[in-house]
Structure 1
């Protein structure tokens, strides 16, 4: 078939578009789609994949006399893509007599209501939008019984994630609900495991399928520029960028922090029409940036991966990447944003700060030219199964457990899930009252509406907004920045707790904002524009992106063949010098060049470095194992680093790697799991998934084994590799990997040191507080800054730690100079008093006064009163304290028989140990006298 087989209406619109012909991918898809086959379309950006899917579908829609809305569902991972695609699809559809509508969380309510009255033939939505419709939209979902086609855009973005698994089940639910084996068409950038992706996408469909692709060898021109930075790095980078801008330019960074920081620096040079675009700025701001790009008004947009995907942003002249991207796929997506059309050349440049980044950039370029891409794995996420089981129960009111299993296990993701495993999950959800099981019938339990609540006010910490149930988009705790009832951005909660206070100025969306108030309950920050001054740039979680597992092998090859790059214009002179110096270190010292089968053991002060080219997940696993072994005593004076360039540990003297190599495999496996369970990565995953299983309170090792096991599996899937680490250690043991001890730091060792250290993360808050307080006296506010814990939570824990049964006891006194309450460790109190740092707090003004110490014992048997003169307390405190018959006192306060006012202004101290009671009586006297006479 060719385009002439299409309806005359479509041919007329093709001419109206000004197209001389269809693209190669558009020609190839006509026949299989018109024949009703499932199709996976694979092509780089700019090849017209959307029209390749839609033109034959439009043709079939025109010829279908039984067509009823909703006939075509177009699913895409980004809400921003929906707005763009709706306009793009509507250009064709409206002229053909079809109604197009969009559905996502930011669509105005008025527009959502219209679709009930004027049901669209074509609906553009996200996986979350389909989830809402099937679970909750009782009226509208009736229209899905007419579904005939489903197009899934940006498949490569979804397939290896929870959202991909969610969508897979949703398509099976749609098939079961509609009774139609509808046609499925996927659109993807270049991927490596095409057949597997097709199987995941097409699920239980009985239709034949085709994989249609075009060559991914799109021409690109790449330059690798080593930035020579002496002095202020950001200033040098900004100046370099200014000299490279070709309107319009996209500058990709690997983090939101870098995006904001670079914008701040460029702002000093008054470059017009420079914008920022990342996931933490508001949708309105994103729309304005995208419009400025499309209309050709932007000189430069500094962005993260939010602009990697197929949002239409017009003709981009050039792409700059600040530091190498994390993967070949990301590299190609970013580079492909310039020269977007098929016959155009993509032009890009990578700015590197270090020698290893030059080599890494060369490796990415080589892999891209060879068409080698990462092949991701998929995991049967049990939290997806749990949520979809609840969704199905919401949809039908109640459902037979066998039918529930049949629908979910139809998804390729969960085909290996046995019925026995499924029943154990259902039983666990029922135990947590998330589901209610009566015989074989399953319905939603009471806990569901407790966790996902419609009440947006006065929510408990564990309660979620109802809309969050439908989404697997990562929902780290964040504060919304609000100005005049509009959201202007968001910041990670941990950053707010640690760093932000009222009247602080921060920078986000490239603008300065002054904080008016922080609402801890509603997780909002009210801000107003700040006209001048400097603003702190927030640091978000997830700023460190894992590197591709293809890089270690390719980097080794680039190093071996380094001479060929010295004659190429792809790298600047500074990069060539770095490459030569990197290699010369090993040649001069008679060492083998860096590779995957050599570990260089180096030492920098008190840090041992194991420099080698290594899979990052293996490196991360080994680093966490070292950290676990080094911190059995819960010391905070140890840290590790991990990267594709090796790993390191700081703060230990003994050779822990030798201990690891000498352990047997079973022992190692257990230790690796223990080290993972102590990692903050594990607790982040556990916190993320626990509510999907209906777990509200503390997690029990005995009662919540299913939840803990799943959290471990998902943590390993994302960050670690137990299997490959055990294999790696075995290779060391068998001497398949050489260990070479060298003096000084090698270039590879320096690459390790350029990565951020990971310190022990102690889950017991009391231990963290103890470590932070050791040797000092702090206010709650100061400790909150140090620990990143809200003041309210911290004060509550400090009060608990005063009690006599606490392992790490605290007590508090009043700082007379500042009137602040300061907290100290009981074991440090006497030493802190004797240092004299708080002299006035324990030094009465008048020694001739008499007071009464009112003491209430722990058992509440009644108060006792001890009369003392201040002079006696100062000169011979034991004469006073030995009259106290208790080792522990519940409450201590003072009074003066001749002055009733004293009782009202006296400090009250609780859970006081007899060993420090003299200091607290002195503190009380000093405070009372300072208040009365000072």
Structure 2
């Protein structure tokens, strides 16, 4: 009996397990207990959603800090989303209530008085976002040893999200900066449901600690039953993605896809994932309108990053209630590990960007039943016979099928691509370290910054170039003794709360009614304008430019509003699988009648025009289209190559397209037999990505790129956003 890890857990945890009706610990929880209790290693837990990862991490770690209470915070939990932290907080608070072990939340929506309580008595578990951790590093420097000095565990949730983003490199930097305050190196526990490369994840989690990482065997979704369906509709509106799209097509009928979503989710607890905020708002407005006409209850909600924290938390509480139906349209904010036990169905509007995102969203359902259910809904304008080839391909439908098949056939998930030139983060951490430390000599600053693992590939020459530029633009100031401090302009940036985040945030205007904050929008509207937000339409009654706020009142109707933001890259393997689908005869079982008919049409067309033999198609006269079937990075490289190198040699101009599916352009040569090999030869002639960067070009992809010298901006573009080697390898297969 003593060998059973269950009996090594603290007594109050054993009682909590019994009170929740558990018959036994799950395999992943048993393995996690053994690793925590019997080794001193880091641990990476990568299993499917609802597999018990959170409990596997926390139950043994809490036992350790309960049996041997540390003199500071014992467990630091870092999560990517406020919603995830709020959810985990409720679960941990219930568990720890009887043990007198405090659990604290720390993010932008947590009241100041609760943060002050933690600062007075740092102990137990602290749950925090990277942005709030950055704030502590800058503003509470003298207290960091007291807060974290005896830290025992660092739990990093949704590791795959951090690994693939600037925030993940920020977290690596933060933990290494905190390292000088630790009495001993805390053990790290990483959690993820979707990892494609475990070795890379282990290296990321290990960081600069030198401690090995143990990863128990992963099971993913393999033990779950999957119920998938993909449907497609032709839209009667000639431009269904227009931001001025009417509420319904002519004749008073509702949009077929919206009507279908209404019918499929009626009376259920469902999540609808969209790829854009405006899609979520517009869909919910349509569902509310249909419900009013049908005389059914309105239980439709919106959840995305521009909705206020209060309303998001209210929606999360409603979603979790097993006694009432709810249908919520969401973006990435509900993709990650928030526990929604009663959720019955996931609906995906159009295709997700990746296999990883598909698995995360699929995993939201079936936590209690063991059946993960997901319905894909696609719609597009009905194509006319005179449309060009690239407009007759159902790109999004193909992408959904490709993503599903890549997982079902290969269990493949996108690998995490390294970033060689993280100069935006370099600026951020340089300014953060100076803000927290005060004056530093250039050598001391370089030693503190360049020894952080995200900057291992940054040369001293590049760092000196950055410092010189920051002195020129008054972000830094040189003292008489040669030391560096924040300059006047740098102080303005660092002392603004938005500095703590390394991701782009264009949402700045606060929207309020007479009682509360509704959310935020990107641009200051005029009085009388209408805004769709949080599932309703609001009319602006007052505008306060200096406060960056507007006052609104609720009105009837629905409309579109555009939130700016970058898209997400799609992997080349997805595009290759999409092309393969066109030349298969397989009738996938999950395809519903509309989707099956649309795929049959696309396959027939692809064979007629020989999409398997050509990538270049003549549209009319000098107008051409290239469908290269390559991922976003290679597509971006090709677009630049045609623009910069193709102008003089081939007379290429007027380039446009839909990334990464096709490019349109005009060219002098009007013979397909000549132009296609010439384009291929042009691709193979390029030597380095730097040839595809204009010497006068500014590249402003990341948040702090605008503060970099131009040469470093161009280096970011060439090294992290272009891949000439991949493009040339793929071009070898062009017929």
Band the TM-score falls in, shorter-chain normalisation: 0.7 to 0.9
- In structure 2, do the counterparts of structure 1 residues 99 and 440 end up closer, same or farther at CA, with 3 Å as the change threshold? farther
Q: Secondary structure at the match of 1:570?
A: coil
Q: Decide whether the 8 Å contact of 1:204 with 1:410 is kept in 2.
A: no
1:354-374 superposed Cα distances (whole Å, 9 cap, x missing partner): 544333222111112221000
Question: 1:812-827 alignment to 2 at 5 Å?
Answer: none
Q: Secondary structure at the match of 1:90?
A: helix
Alignment correspondent of 1:181 = 185
Q: Secondary structure at the match of 1:598?
A: coil
- In structure 2, do the counterparts of structure 1 residues 414 and 197 end up closer, same or farther at CA, with 3 Å as the change threshold? farther
Alignment correspondent of 2:385 = none
Residue 314 of structure 1 deviates from its aligned partner by 3.3
Q: Decide whether the 8 Å contact of 1:172 with 1:407 is kept in 2.
A: no
Residue 55 of structure 1 deviates from its aligned partner by 1.2
Q: Secondary structure at the match of 1:349?
A: strand
- In structure 2, do the counterparts of structure 1 residues 476 and 658 end up closer, same or farther at CA, with 3 Å as the change threshold? farther
Residue 446 of structure 1 deviates from its aligned partner by 2.3
Q: Is residue 2:272 matched to residue 1:251?
A: yes
Alignment correspondent of 2:389 = none
Query: How far apart, CA to CA, are the structure 1 residues paired with 2:204 and 2:481?
Result: 29
Q: Is residue 2:711 matched to residue 1:709?
A: yes
1:346-396 superposed Cα distances (whole Å, 9 cap, x missing partner): 011111225443332221111122210001212241232232233233333
Alignment correspondent of 1:564 = 586
Q: Decide whether the 8 Å contact of 1:660 with 1:668 is kept in 2.
A: no
**Which of 25, 28, 31 is the equivalent residue of 2:34?**
31
**Which of 562, 576, 599 is the equivalent residue of 1:553?**
576
Query: How far apart, CA to CA, are the structure 2 residues paired with 1:334 and 1:317?
Result: 12
Residue 450 of structure 1 deviates from its aligned partner by 4.1
Q: Secondary structure at the match of 2:602?
A: helix
Q: Secondary structure at the match of 2:701?
A: helix
Query: How far apart, CA to CA, are the structure 1 residues paired with 2:507 and 2:333?
Result: 20
Q: Is residue 2:539 matched to residue 1:540?
A: no
Residue 28 of structure 1 deviates from its aligned partner by 1.0
Residue 440 of structure 1 deviates from its aligned partner by 9.7
Query: How far apart, CA to CA, are the structure 1 residues paired with 2:460 and 2:627?
Result: 47
Query: How far apart, CA to CA, are the structure 1 residues paired with 2:667 and 2:331?
Result: 35
Q: Secondary structure at the match of 1:583?
A: helix
Alignment correspondent of 2:388 = none
1:174-208 superposed Cα distances (whole Å, 9 cap, x missing partner): 11222421111111122112212221222121323
1:212-256 superposed Cα distances (whole Å, 9 cap, x missing partner): 242122331101112243458661111111221151111111111
**Which of 475, 493, 498 is the equivalent residue of 2:505?**
475
Provide structure 1 residue ranges, at least 5 long, that are not aligned to the other structure: 455-465, 694-706, 739-934
Q: Is residue 2:328 matched to residue 1:301?
A: yes
Query: How far apart, CA to CA, are the structure 2 residues paired with 1:443 and 1:129?
Result: 25
Q: Is residue 2:633 matched to residue 1:611?
A: no
TM-score by length of 2: 0.85
Alignment correspondent of 1:854 = none
Q: Decide whether the 8 Å contact of 1:150 with 1:184 is kept in 2.
A: yes
Q: Secondary structure at the match of 1:674?
A: coil
Alignment correspondent of 2:207 = 203
Alignment correspondent of 1:359 = 398
Query: How far apart, CA to CA, are the structure 1 residues paired with 2:229 and 2:702?
Result: 43
Query: How far apart, CA to CA, are the structure 2 residues paired with 1:639 and 1:158?
Result: 34
Q: Secondary structure at the match of 1:608?
A: strand
Q: Is residue 2:94 matched to residue 1:55?
A: no
Alignment correspondent of 1:838 = none
Residue 424 of structure 1 deviates from its aligned partner by 4.2
Query: How far apart, CA to CA, are the structure 2 residues paired with 1:41 and 1:410?
Result: 28
| RMSD of equivalent CA atoms | 3.1
Q: Secondary structure at the match of 1:268?
A: helix
Q: Secondary structure at the match of 1:85?
A: helix
**Which of 133, 137, 140 is the equivalent residue of 1:134?**
137
- In structure 2, do the counterparts of structure 1 residues 155 and 609 end up closer, same or farther at CA, with 3 Å as the change threshold? same
1:505-542 superposed Cα distances (whole Å, 9 cap, x missing partner): 22221212112244445433x2321433x454211223
Alignment correspondent of 1:241 = 261
Alignment correspondent of 2:338 = 311
Alignment correspondent of 1:229 = 235
Residue 120 of structure 1 deviates from its aligned partner by 3.0
Alignment correspondent of 1:884 = none
Residue 43 of structure 1 deviates from its aligned partner by 1.2
Residue 148 of structure 1 deviates from its aligned partner by 1.8
**Which of 584, 603, 615 is the equivalent residue of 1:599?**
615
Q: Is residue 2:564 matched to residue 1:523?
A: no
Residue 717 of structure 1 deviates from its aligned partner by 6.2
Q: Secondary structure at the match of 1:571?
A: coil
Residue 546 of structure 1 deviates from its aligned partner by 3.2
Alignment correspondent of 2:437 = 396
Instruction: Considering Cα pairs closer than 8 Å and 6+ residues apart, tell me whether 1 or 2 has the greater RCO.
Output: 2
Query: How far apart, CA to CA, are the structure 2 residues paired with 1:381 and 1:189?
Result: 26
Alignment correspondent of 1:775 = none
**Which of 603, 622, 628 is the equivalent residue of 2:638?**
622
- In structure 2, do the counterparts of structure 1 residues 44 and 125 end up closer, same or farther at CA, with 3 Å as the change threshold? same
Q: Is residue 2:118 matched to residue 1:115?
A: yes
Alignment correspondent of 2:526 = 501
Q: Decide whether the 8 Å contact of 2:194 with 2:360 is kept in 1.
A: no
Query: How far apart, CA to CA, are the structure 2 residues paired with 1:554 and 1:471?
Result: 36
Q: Decide whether the 8 Å contact of 1:430 with 1:445 is kept in 2.
A: no
- In structure 2, do the counterparts of structure 1 residues 266 and 146 end up closer, same or farther at CA, with 3 Å as the change threshold? same
- Please say which of residues 214-223 and 414-423 is displaced more in the overlay: 414-423
Q: Is residue 2:284 matched to residue 1:263?
A: yes
- In structure 2, do the counterparts of structure 1 residues 8 and 402 end up closer, same or farther at CA, with 3 Å as the change threshold? farther
Question: 1:867-882 alignment to 2 at 5 Å?
Answer: none
Query: How far apart, CA to CA, are the structure 2 residues paired with 1:277 and 1:514?
Result: 20
Alignment correspondent of 1:578 = 598
- In structure 2, do the counterparts of structure 1 residues 264 and 627 end up closer, same or farther at CA, with 3 Å as the change threshold? farther
1:554-592 superposed Cα distances (whole Å, 9 cap, x missing partner): 2233333x3222xx5311222222222222234456x3x
Residue 73 of structure 1 deviates from its aligned partner by 0.9
Residue 281 of structure 1 deviates from its aligned partner by 1.4
Provide structure 2 residue ranges, at least 5 long, that are not aligned to the other structure: 241-247, 249-254, 381-393
Residue 103 of structure 1 deviates from its aligned partner by 1.0
- In structure 2, do the counterparts of structure 1 residues 431 and 22 end up closer, same or farther at CA, with 3 Å as the change threshold? same
- In structure 2, do the counterparts of structure 1 residues 186 and 451 end up closer, same or farther at CA, with 3 Å as the change threshold? same
Query: How far apart, CA to CA, are the structure 1 residues paired with 2:669 and 2:703?
Result: 35
Query: How far apart, CA to CA, are the structure 2 residues paired with 1:489 and 1:582?
Result: 42
Alignment correspondent of 2:309 = 283
Q: Is residue 2:664 matched to residue 1:648?
A: yes
Residue 58 of structure 1 deviates from its aligned partner by 1.5
Query: How far apart, CA to CA, are the structure 2 residues paired with 1:373 and 1:100?
Result: 34
Alignment correspondent of 1:514 = 539
**Number of residue pairs aligned between Structure 1 and Structure 2:** 686
Alignment correspondent of 1:147 = 151
Residue 688 of structure 1 deviates from its aligned partner by 3.9
Q: Is residue 2:396 matched to residue 1:337?
A: no
Q: Is residue 2:415 matched to residue 1:375?
A: yes
- In structure 2, do the counterparts of structure 1 residues 716 and 27 end up closer, same or farther at CA, with 3 Å as the change threshold? farther
Query: How far apart, CA to CA, are the structure 2 residues paired with 1:199 and 1:627?
Result: 39
